[in-house]
Structure formats: C-alpha cells, structure tokens
Amino acid sequence: MTTLDIDQQKRAADAIRVLSMDAVQKANSGHPGMPMGMADLATVLWGRHLIVDPTDPHWLDRDRFVVSNGHGSMLLYAVLHLSGFDLSMDDIRNFRQWGHPTAGHPEIEVERGIEMTTGPLGQGFGSAIGMAVAEAQLEAKFGSDLVDHKTYVFCSDGDLMEGVAAEAASLAGHLELGKVIAIYDDNHISLEGPTSWTFTENVVQRFESYGWHTIVVDGHDHVAIDQAIEEAKSTIGRPTLIDAKTHIGFGSPNKQDSAKAHGSPLGDDEIALVRQELGWDLPPFEIPEDVYKYFHTAMQRGTEARQAWDARHESLISSGGELAADWAAHFDPQPVRLDAPSYEAGKAAATRAMSGKVIQQIGEQRMDFITGDADLAGSTKSLIDDASDFSKEDRTGRNIRYGVREHAMGAMVNGMNIHGGVRAFGSTFLTFSDYMRGSVRLGALMETPSIWVWTHDSIFLGEDGPTHQSIEHVAALRAIPELWVFRPATPGEVAGSWQAAMNRLDGPSALILTRQNLPIPAEDVAPDAVAKGGYIALPGTDATIVATGSELHVAMQAAGLLGEHGLSIRVVSMPCLELFEAQGDSYRRQVLGDGIPVASIEAATTFGWAAITGADGLRIGIDHFGASAPYEVLAEQYGFTPRAVAERLAGWLGRS
C-alpha cells in the first residue's frame, strides 16, 4: 500500500468521523465514539475488501456487512452515503429524525445497504452467524461460481458480553464457518465507564477455545488492518475474530478513550477541536470530492463482480437444467398447499406430532426449507426425516442442531431468513421462548418471515412442573406487533397454521403446540379455514365460547353437556387471534354472534382475552402457576374438564 493510498484512506476515515460527530451533534442524540473509533476499520474494509454493489443492493452473492454494535449507526450511514447507496446527505443531516431512514439503530433496508436491525447488543452477531450458515448451505448446493461471499460483522465489548453472542460464536466455531469475519472494537470503554469495571476476560483466548482463528491488530493502522482482513479471508475452516485495538472518540482531545464519547454529542467546542486535530477545515456536512471518489472507485469492484455473476447466473438459468430448477426452488419458491395429516377419528394425537407430519410435507414441497431445534428434536418433532444434519462435514443438511442455545437459534434463524435462499424455523419448549424474545421481537420489527415452533404449551405438559409449564407466554407473544401466533387444535388446523406461516413473507409466525394427546374429531376443517384466524366450530344462539388449542375439545364437550339442558352454545375455534382481528367487523360479528354473550377458554393467563369477550365476558384461564402432577389431575384440579367448564358457563349465564 503506497503513501498516496494511506493518505486517501486517512482522508476517507476522517470523513466518516466528522459526518458522524456532526450528525449526532445536530440531532443532539446519538453515539459518536464508536464511528470515530472504527472509521479506519470501515474505510479499509469498504475500500479494499467488501464486495457489494450500490447499483444492485439486493444482489444475492454480495458480502454481508452487519454492524452489531448498532449504537454506532452513523458509521454505517456515513459509509453507505459515501459509497453511493440510497442515503442522501439530507438523510445524514436528519439523523434520528422523523421520516428519514437514518434511525438511531439501523433497521433493515437492503435497498439502502442496511442488512438488518441490530439495536440489542449481540443480536447482529448472532444473525451474522445465521447468514453464514445460509451461505454455506447454498454454496454446497450450487457451487462457488454462484454462491461465494463473506459475512463481516462489527462488534463491541457489549456484544461480546451478551450471552447470545457467546452461544452463536460457540456454534460457529463448532460448525467451522470459515467465511465469518468478526471485527471487534476493543476500545476498553462501555457506556458507563472502563470495561475494567466488568469485563476483564481474555476475549482472544475465549474465541480460540471456540475454535476461531484470531488476529490482534492496531485498529488505526491501515496497513495492519488490510493485512489482517486478507489473512482472515484466506483462513479455511475457521471463523476469524480480528481484535482491533481502537480509541473510542478518536481525534477528540478531551473525550477520546472516555465514556463521555460513547453515548452523548461531543459539543460544539469539542467538535471544533476535533476538526483542528484532524486538519479538517470544511463546514458540517460538506465532504470533498476526493473522498466520494475513493469510495465510488472501491464500489466498482462490487459492480464488476456482480456483472460477472449475472453472466454466470444467466448461463445457469438459460440452461434450463436440474440446477436451474433447484435455483428457482430456493430463490423463487412456490407457495405451499398442505393437507391435514391423516388420523383415525376417535383416536388421539398431540399437535406437536401432527406438526411433525406436516413438516414432512413441507420438506417435500420446498427444497429451501430448513428445520432447527435446541436439543429437543425428539420432543418438538421438528426434523425432516429424509434429510441429513447440517454440519462441518455436510453443508447440504437441512436439519440444524443448535444444542441448548435458544438465544443463538433465535438470532441465527432471523439471519438465515434475511440472507435469502433458505426458509428456516427453530423449535424448543414454549417456556424457553423467553430466552428468544429479543430475536422474536426483532424478527417482527424487521418483518422477517421467521417461523418458531414452541411445544409443551401449557400446564398440561404435566409432571415437569411449574418451571416448564407455560402460563403467560402465549399472551406475551401475542403482545408483539406483527407476530402471528397460532395455537391449533386439530390436524386440519395444524396444517392450516403451517400453510399460513410458510406463505407469509412480511413477518414472523409462531406455532404453539401440545405435548399431550388431543382427540381426533370425526369431522375436521380444511387447512384454509385457518386463513381468517377463527371460525364457527359448533353453531349456537345462547352464548359463544372461544377456544384455542387443546381447550377446543373441552369447549366442544362442555357445549354438548349444556345442550342436554337446553342451552345452545356456539363454539368458535380461534387458532390465530392476529388473523381474526385483521378481518372486517362483519366477519367478526358473524363468527362471534351479534348480541350474545362471549366467553373464552385457554389454559393460560386470561390477560388479553377481554378484547374478544368484552369487559363483561367470561374468561376461563389460569392466572397462577401450575403444579407437578399428571396432566389429567391438573385438568381436574384447575377446572379444565368438560363438566367443570359447563358448570362455569351455566353459572355465568344464570342457568346453574
């Protein structure tokens, strides 16, 4: 690298610094320290290594760049603007303001070069590992002529303190994901003060124990950074951590190497001193043409690579062969049409077992479909039977074993679905969804089509006791905007829930499934019945009871008992409240009944059900923790038998 190159890169890095501190100052809100400290790393990575194309941001074989320390979002916005992506200087001036894409923490907008939202620390790191899994599988299937890209992730001390990053790093090392390159901003400062207060472990040794290749480098030495990235790119069979020793707030005479540079504007006086220190004499938001030229020239590397890839891709498509068909199956998949799994009426089966049968159908229809479990496949019934496990030996495997790593599974499933070319889901017990909530919420915020399978859905898992018996979890999940929560009761409803989830492309879905067996009805609904969220399972005129999952059968039997005493009870099955609420008023009134009282039953907290029953409605649920006992005993003790429910309904209606 020549002296001229170094001078150009220093000028480019300083442009990132001043844009970042000026935007934060104008907003009077933000984190200037990380962009100023990592500007040299970003300049070398984007200027000499990263392969992306601003003229085609969605190009499938682009390198992925994730800023997991998303509080430093101005670094990302600055480099995207300078590189020619669709982020204007007006957007930079209006950092963190209404109506502009420059949010405080980056949200997914691939057309602008923003790969994913990374607000909660560690999530970006975990999702980057998921992206690398998707890349590895697709490369194994289609070859390196069509799939061969790196996943770069910037991360901080805070990211590496979070458990999700530890879980994901451990699994990445085990799987030998050699195309992951994590660049760690090792500046010894967190939000409150020096990391010596809380974080004194040897990060390099920790990552080496995970099986990572590690490099320690001066994060402000452009030549050393360039050499480190080259070494990481050439490392086979191991992900790489580049531990970059940096100075937070680099260039600030009074706030460099201080927590004062982390999460607050520098102030006008300090900014003037930074300009003097850097030799930057331009006013705010004015960038010299040579800086734009530096980044635009670097982007030609990606444009040329994309054009060459387009030619190879066109050759594949025009061949019309089996590989072309497989490519279409991954990148332009057809919607699924699913049949209810076959069971003999009068027999019994758990909805988790029904789901397992449906998963086999999806696996046959969709070659992009990938399963996953947190060491619980035997319980969640989540494997594709005729598929192998994804491993360091077999990258084509469609079953991913995450081990007991729910945090990592959540983030990685999001990353795989964001990457594209695969459709991934993860599974565990419902009570462990708490471990995944950050990922689930981010998936909803990003409108990522992730799917979650959570089984053992209530106190009726029985003897494992209250620690494993989900009470509040379904309500908590329904509280997440844009997440569709399905709690099906029959084979037809299970197939319909999967069909709706798989065919949804604008957000995540969750399937909540039973451990215990449920009776197979003599007449079942078609899968399409789930599409509106709720339907009339049994007509009635005196009152309506709305049920989900295992309680549908209890409600049906209770209605039958009351029918013997002259009460006409309508039973509504509502496998998905979100879809039901999305219907028009006329459909909702038609299903619930006009002017008749409404009750609900669900083996969970009654929280939230007033939206369906009204304030005066009856809500049968469990607003307390369970107990360790066989599930039949729990049903008897907590009033979830058909007779007990019938008595509650009759008393509520004044017919006891």
- Residues 615, 231: Cα–Cα separation, whole Å: 65
- Which residue, among 156, 163, 76, 65, has the nearest Cα to 410 in the 3D structure? 163
Q: Do 410 and 127 meet the contact criterion of CB atoms below 8 Å apart?
A: no
Q: Do 512 and 432 meet the contact criterion of CB atoms below 8 Å apart?
A: no
Residue keyed to tokens 């929560």 = 485
- Residues 311, 63: Cα–Cα separation, whole Å: 18
SS3 content of the chain, % helix, strand, coil (to 5): 45, 15, 40
What 3 state SS string does 562-606 have? HHCCCCCEEEEECCCHHHHHCCCHHHHHHHHCCCCCEEEECCCCC
* Residue 11 in tokens: 């000028």
**Active-site residue, 472 included:** no
CA of 281: how far to CAs of 74, 284, 307, 604, in Å? 21, 9, 39, 64
Q: Do 222 and 10 meet the contact criterion of CB atoms below 8 Å apart?
A: yes
Q: Do 284 and 22 meet the contact criterion of CB atoms below 8 Å apart?
A: yes
Q: How many helices (H) and strands (E) does the chain have?
A: 24, 18
Burial of 597 (0-12, 13-18, 19+ CB in 10 A): middle
* Residue 108 in tokens: 């997914």
- Residues 107, 120: Cα–Cα separation, whole Å: 12
Say which DSSP state 187 is in: -
Burial 73-88 (b: 16+ CB within 10 A, else e): bbbbbbbbbbbbbebe
Cβ within 8 Å of residue 551, ≥6 positions away: 489, 601, 602, 603, 640
Residue keyed to tokens 């070398």 = 44
- Residues 365, 369: Cα–Cα separation, whole Å: 9
- Residues 407, 170: Cα–Cα separation, whole Å: 12
Catalytic residue, chosen from 115, 270, 406, 602, is 406
Most distant pair of Cα atoms in the chain: their distance: 94
- Residues 8, 294: Cα–Cα separation, whole Å: 7
Q: How many residues does the chain have?
A: 656
- Residues 282, 288: Cα–Cα separation, whole Å: 8
Say which DSSP state 520 is in: P
- Which residue, among 253, 352, 242, 301, has the nearest Cα to 59 in the 3D structure? 301
Rg (CA), the chain: 28
Say which DSSP state 529 is in: G
Q: Do 357 and 379 meet the contact criterion of CB atoms below 8 Å apart?
A: no
- Residues 427, 120: Cα–Cα separation, whole Å: 22
Helix (H, G, I), strand (E, B) or coil at 185: strand
By annotation, the residues acting in catalysis are 406
